[in-house]
Amino acid sequence: MQGVFEKLGHAVERWQRRAADFLNRKAATLSRRQLAWGLVVFCGVFGGSSAYTIWHSVHASTDAVRIQPLTIPGHTILPEDALPTDGIGPELARIRQFRRFLDSLRLSESGRTLYDSLARQRPGLLDSLAFIENAYQLQLKTSEDGKK
């Protein structure tokens, strides 16, 4: 898939280069005065259209955007129902057990090298464990709050 994007990127770059070369050839025939006037006209047209758009958006109150209420279809999954509540306890226990194992590795001299190599080879592992543990704890808390 990456090859497709590379080919597409190269094609876009070639097109941009051709367009830039064409515009440079056209601009090379213009005098300094003509280039300055072209710049003034360009800035005037686009600056004026921007000013008109801003002015029109501020002063046109009849075509204001109306805010409509959202309706949630009944067959959608609500956020509190997104994770299953059964089986969360054992999963959380396994995650905590693995974190304790990693902490014990860090404390011993021989385990420290293994811990460092794990942290180097899998740079997001520790952050992912903390994130998953927090997500499970939050899910446990919300499921317990719902049972009360």
**Which pTM value belongs to this model?**
0.36
Domain with 96, as residue range(s), is 79-147
Q: pLDDT tens-digit profile of 46-89?
A: 999 999 999 988 877 665 666 677 676 666 655 554 445 455 56
Q: Do the Cβ atoms of 105 and 111 come closer than 8 Å? A: yes
Is residue 138 in a domain?
Answer: yes
d(CA 3, CA 8): 9
Residue 71 domain flag: no
Say if 87 falls within a structural domain. Answer: yes
Phi, psi (5° rounding) for residue 104? -70, -35
CB 107 within 8 A of CB 59: no
Q: Which of 135, 139, 146 shows the shortest CA–CA distance to 86?
A: 139
Q: Residue 69: inside a domain, yes or no?
A: no
Q: Model confidence over 112-125: pLDDT tens digits?
A: 888 888 888 888 88
